[in-house]
């Protein structure tokens, strides 16, 4: 018969680290998808933290193990205003080693723009350069993003139960 303490230890070992969801948005699509994503993970019993990129404390980065980024592209291939500082930080000398981090990116954009989903691509290459590992390839979405979002989230949730 297991004691409560032994049971707690066993559960703690099996527990996956929380998922962090960071979003960068201009017109609100990425924010809504980030909220939907947090809800989906919560339904699976996974601890999900959500933050907009502007309010995110970059000191936390080295301690985070699982990160999902949902970001649109604005202007001519630029990140939304609220995502600019985080991207700049990740591309700078100040950024930490992120080899302990697994991540995936959902990039929102519009194929009529020359720099399709450029902000998502820029986050992806910055994280890769810092040693972070992709859990799942970046999903680039056109203006009708629902189907691609569903494919991305369904794959992530399936991986969660493996
Ligand atoms: C002013 C403006 C500029 C945009 N520039 C780009 C761009 O350069 N590349 C791209 O792929 N999409 C571009 N888009 C499309 C948006 O990324 C897309 O509509 C996205 O779904 C918006 O998501 P959000 O609501 O999270 O900002 C632009 C949209 C607007 C309104």
pLDDT at 2 over 60: no
User: In ligand 1, which atom is closest to the CA atom of 143?
Assistant: 21
- Is 73 close to ligand 1, i.e. is its CB under 6 Å away? yes
- Is 30 close to ligand 1, i.e. is its CB under 6 Å away? yes
Give pLDDT tens digits for 123-157. Answer: 999 999 999 999 999 999 999 999 999 999 999 99
Domain boundaries, the chain: 17-161
Return the CA Rg of the chain.
17
Where does the pLDDT of residue 161 fall: very low under 50, low under 70, confident under 90, or very high at 90 and above?
confident
Give pLDDT tens digits for 7-29. Answer: 555 555 457 899 999 999 999 99
- Is 117 close to ligand 1, i.e. is its CB under 6 Å away? yes
pLDDT at 5 over 70: no
DSSP secondary structure letters along the chain:
---HHHHHHHHHHHPPPPEEEEEE-SSSHHHHHHHHHHHHHHHTT--EEEEETTT--GGGGGG--EEEEEEE-BTTTBPPHHHHHHHHHHTSTTPPP-TT-EEEEEEE--TTSSSTTHHHHHHHHHHHHTT-EESS--EEE-SS-HHHHHHHHHHHHHHHH-
Q: Are 21 and 31 in contact (CB under 8 A)?
A: no
Third-level CATH fold of 17-161: Rossmann fold (3.40.50)
Average of per-residue pLDDT across 90-118: 98
Q: What are the beta bridge partners of residue 22?
A: 51, 69
Name the residue with the closest Cα to ligand 1, atom 6.
Answer: 74
Give pLDDT tens digits for 48-100. Answer: 999 999 999 999 999 999 999 999 999 999 999 999 999 999 999 999 999 99
- 111's CB contacts (< 8 A; 6+ apart) are 142, 143
Please count the other Cβ atoms lying within 10 Å of the Cβ belonging to residue 139: 21
Instruction: Choose the residue to mutate in 22, 52, 69, 72 for probing ligand 1, maximizing ligand atoms within 8 Å of C-beta.
Output: 72
- C-alpha 53 chain-centroid distance: 11
- Is 25 close to ligand 1, i.e. is its CB under 6 Å away? yes
- Is 54 close to ligand 1, i.e. is its CB under 6 Å away? no
- C-alpha 74 chain-centroid distance: 18
């Amino acid at each position: 018969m297991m004691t409560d303490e032994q049971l707690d230890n066993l559960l703690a070992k099996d527990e996956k680290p929380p998922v962090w969801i960071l979003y960068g948005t201009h017109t609100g699509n990425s924010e809504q998808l980030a909220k939907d994503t947090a809800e989906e993970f919560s339904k699976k019993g996974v601890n999900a933290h959500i933050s907009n990129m502007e309010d995110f404390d970059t000191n936390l980065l080295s301690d985070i193990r699982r990160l999902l980024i949902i970001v649109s592209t604005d202007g001519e291939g630029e990140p939304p205003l609220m995502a600019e500082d985080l991207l700049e930080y990740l591309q700078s000398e100040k950024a930490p080693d992120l080899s302990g981090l697994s991540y995936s990116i959902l990039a929102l954009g519009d194929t009529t723009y020359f720099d399709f989903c450029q902000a998502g691509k820029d986050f992806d290459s910055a994280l890769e350069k810092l040693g972070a590992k992709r859990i799942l390839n970046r999903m680039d979405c056109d203006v009708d993003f629902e189907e691609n979002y569903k494919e991305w989230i369904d794959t992530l949730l399936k991986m969660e139960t493996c």
